[in-house]
Amino acid sequence: MRASCEVFVVCGIGGSYLGARAAIEMLNGLYGKDEIEIIFIGNTFSSTYIAQVLEHIKDKEVCVNVISKSGTTTETSLAFRLLKQFMEQKYGMQESVKRIVATTDCARGTLKALADEKGYETFVIPDDIGGRYSLITPVGLLPIAVAGIDIDALMDGLQQAYMDMSSADLNHNPAYRYAVARRILQNMGKDVEMLVSYEPSMSMVAEWWKQLFGESEGKEEKGILPCSATFSTDLHSLGQFIQEGKKVLFETLLLVEQPLLDLTFPTDEENKDNMNYLAGKSLHWVNQMAAQGTLQAHEESGHVPNLIITLPDMSAKSFGYMCYFFFRACAMTCYLLDINPFNQPGVEVYKKNMFRLLGKQ
């Protein structure tokens, strides 16, 4: 795949794209350090977005990975039909087949049937792994590998976390401590959790996390509403509410010790901007001081409780470790509410209405 494309288009929604996108943006950066551009489609009905993607890729070498466990998700099927026709027109039938890979159930669904009929290479999503936990199956691993990221390192991190978090002892299991802390905070009236990072390239990690917790926990009129912010950017929008607004939320800080890259702030002889007080300092240090100052402001005068999760760095191994931490914590925090973390009955309701309006039989 890497040898034959400039653009790798991932077509999927929810658990079938969020994890891969979170990993790729965090590990490669927003302006992609890798030579292959990864584009996500099939996660919206927006005509503007879909048309813009097709326009953007029209003169580039393209490969496609369509991902759907059920094989019937409308957003994905709609975008994939357009992509399939685009590929067939661009490359002809034979070549397009070599450039399309389907990740789906081993037997069920229209995508599986279509892939078999066309002869696409397929990867299997194991039956017992639900969408939002599927990042560590080919759903996530194929796009992440095509993005040039070391998936063995990612799985090493995950395995390490599995070993570290298998203890039933709360004192030795950080995932369970987080799971329990969430329940204690909710019992104190905190119905909203804001996942905060200081790295813009981790905003998709927050989107992935929101789906994981929102879809796992939000049932039977229970659960904590997951929301997210990137600081210090959002301190200039949401900061006021957090500091002085209604006391409904707690923050979970997702901090990074070693950034992917750092810069030293330069001195300026003229100092017209009065910024020389930072000369010689690392930008990451400035970011850390912003985090420290904000934590103090929110906790001490804002009375907003903060949980802190620290990643040692922004490596594939740490990403894998973090994923398992959140998987395990999510399952436990749901069980503490007597909720099944692995289903999502509520998401069917909008589909019924939409299908009626679209005239689907």
Residues of this chain that bind ligand PA5 (CB under 6 A): 13-16, 68-70, 73, 76, 130-132, 215, 344
Exposed / middle / buried, residue 121 (Cβ in 10 Å: 0-12, 13-18, 19+): middle
Minimum CB–partner distance for residue 269 and ligand PA5 (Å): 55
Residue 75: CB atoms within 10 Å: 20
Residue number, 264 or 340, with CB nearest to ligand PA5:
340
How far, in Å, CA of 86 to CA of 18, rounded?
24
Q: Show Cβ contacts of residue 163 under 8 Å, excluding neighbours closer than 6 positions.
A: none
Residues in the chain: 361
Residue number, 76 or 287, with CB nearest to ligand PA5:
76
Tokens 């894998």 belong to 320
Minimum CB–partner distance for residue 355 and ligand PA5 (Å): 15
Minimum CB–partner distance for residue 301 and ligand PA5 (Å): 39
How far, in Å, CA of 338 to CA of 341, rounded?
9
Minimum CB–partner distance for residue 338 and ligand PA5 (Å): 20
Dump the DSSP string for 259-286.
-S---BPPP-SS-TTS-GGGTT-BHHHH
Q: Which residue is nearest to ligand PA5 (CB)?
A: 131
Dump the DSSP string for 118-160.
HT-EEEEPPTTS-GGGGGGSHHHHHHHHHTT--HHHHHHHHHH
Question: Could you say which of 35, 117, 236, 348 is catalytic?
Answer: 236
How far, in Å, CA of 221 to CA of 41, rounded?
32
Residue number, 221 or 348, with CB nearest to ligand PA5:
348
Pairing verdict, β 7-11 and 100-104: unpaired
Question: Could you say which of 58, 60, 303, 351 is catalytic?
Answer: 351
3-class DSSP string for 284-309: HHHHHHHHHHHHHHHHHHCCCCEEEE
Minimum CB–partner distance for residue 344 and ligand PA5 (Å): 6
Residue number, 173 or 333, with CB nearest to ligand PA5:
333
Pairing verdict, β 249-258 and 225-230: unpaired
How far, in Å, CA of 145 to CA of 271, rounded?
46
Residue number, 13 or 314, with CB nearest to ligand PA5:
13
Question: Could you say which of 75, 215, 217, 251 is catalytic?
Answer: 215
Minimum CB–partner distance for residue 69 and ligand PA5 (Å): 4
215 has catalytic annotation: yes
Residue number, 193 or 215, with CB nearest to ligand PA5:
215
Active-site residue list: 215, 236, 351
